[in-house]
Amino acid sequence: MSRVRRIGLVQQAVGDDLERNLARAEDAVREAAARGAQLVCLQELFRTKYFCQVEDAALFDLAEPIPGPTSERLAKLAADCGVVLIVPLFERRAAGVYHNSAIVIERDGTQLGHYRKMHIPDDPLFYEKFYFTPGDLGFHALDTSVGRIGVLICWDQWFPEAARLMALDGAELLFYPTAIGYLDGETDQENAAMRESWITAQRGHAIANGVFVCAANRIGREGALRFWGSSFVADPRGQLIAQADDASEAVLVVECDLARIETQRRGWPFLRDRRIDAYGDLLTRFRR
């Protein structure tokens, strides 16, 4: 039986009109489904501009509960299109408790899973610690009609531990909804190096774990950031099998043959050769 799956990634610019952002994302999902996608992943915080460039308590009003208006609307879309959806949301869990989250909706419209971003950055123009409580749902893969998947979010993509834990939980495809871009004031060389590091780190996760890695990033200028798009899929060898450019909207639909995971892990059996008896110090903050 064929294990080829068609994966869709949506790369879009985002404006001030929340309803228009949502409608445009829905249109992109419909396009991906019409082109044969079985699973579609939207970009991080797709419904709003990237508001974390400033610290403003009024922006907590952008958050919504799960389930809530956006999740319910996209659950209907998933059922209408017959696709699995990865939907990143600004979650209002309770008064004063908010998360950068993503839900997974099965093709019949039921919610299969819920992930809350675990690693929260606090860098110039990425003031996420002001807005987001660190996730508390752990790293757990999900069985979907497309395969077993792991969902992580943006800053999580720099941490090999997160990718490894998802792989150890059986994930065949790792998804990284993302919002990352070039900063004003940096040289073109510095910006290019940062983008290349972003791609390389995730390709490394694909190689080290023998899985497919799929990253969906936004484009366009928002404030002092110019998001670099470059959404891509890497195979278990770390090879880029599809990639969007850094300035155009795109709906990537990519064939991923999950049978390649078995082939790759037989040749490069990293999971077999792990020295789990010797890694205890990984649970310390710093060894020296």
Active site annotation includes 117 = yes
- Determine, yes or no, domain membership for 247: yes
- Determine, yes or no, domain membership for 284: no
- Determine, yes or no, domain membership for 38: yes
Per residue in 219-273, pLDDT (tens digit) is: 999 999 999 999 999 999 999 999 999 999 999 999 999 999 999 999 999 999 9
pLDDT classification of 184: cutoffs 50, 70, 90:
very high
What mean pLDDT do residues 75-81 have? 98
- Determine, yes or no, domain membership for 285: no
Active-site pick, 44, 106, 128, 222: 44
- The answer, yes or no, to whether residue 81 has pLDDT greater than 90, is yes
Active site annotation includes 44 = yes
- Rounded mean pLDDT of the chain? 97
- Determine, yes or no, domain membership for 21: yes
Per residue in 157-173, pLDDT (tens digit) is: 999 999 999 999 999 99
Per residue in 50-76, pLDDT (tens digit) is: 999 999 999 999 999 999 999 999 999
pLDDT classification of 204: cutoffs 50, 70, 90:
very high
- The answer, yes or no, to whether residue 288 has pLDDT greater than 90, is no
Active-site pick, 81, 106, 117, 172: 117
What mean pLDDT do residues 147-165 have? 98
Task: For residue 157, give the CATH number of its domain.
Answer: 3.60.110.10
Active-site pick, 52, 154, 214, 256: 154
Q: What is the pLDDT, as a whole number, of residue 1? A: 81
What mean pLDDT do residues 139-147 have? 98
Per residue in 188-199, pLDDT (tens digit) is: 999 999 999 999
Active site annotation includes 214 = no
- The answer, yes or no, to whether residue 144 has pLDDT greater than 90, is yes
pTM of the complete model: 0.98
Domain assignment of residue 90, given as a range = 4-274
Per residue in 93-136, pLDDT (tens digit) is: 999 999 999 999 999 999 999 999 999 999 999 999 999 999 99
Report how many domains make up the chain.
1
Q: What is the pLDDT, as a whole number, of residue 221? A: 98
- Determine, yes or no, domain membership for 282: no
Percent of the chain whose predicted confidence (pLDDT) is above 70: 100
Q: What is the pLDDT, as a whole number, of residue 172? A: 98
- Determine, yes or no, domain membership for 281: no
- Determine, yes or no, domain membership for 221: yes
Ramachandran assignment for 238, one of left (phi > 0), alpha (psi -120 to 50 degrees), beta (any other):
left
Mean pLDDT lowest among 10-14, 89-93, 183-187, 229-233: 183-187
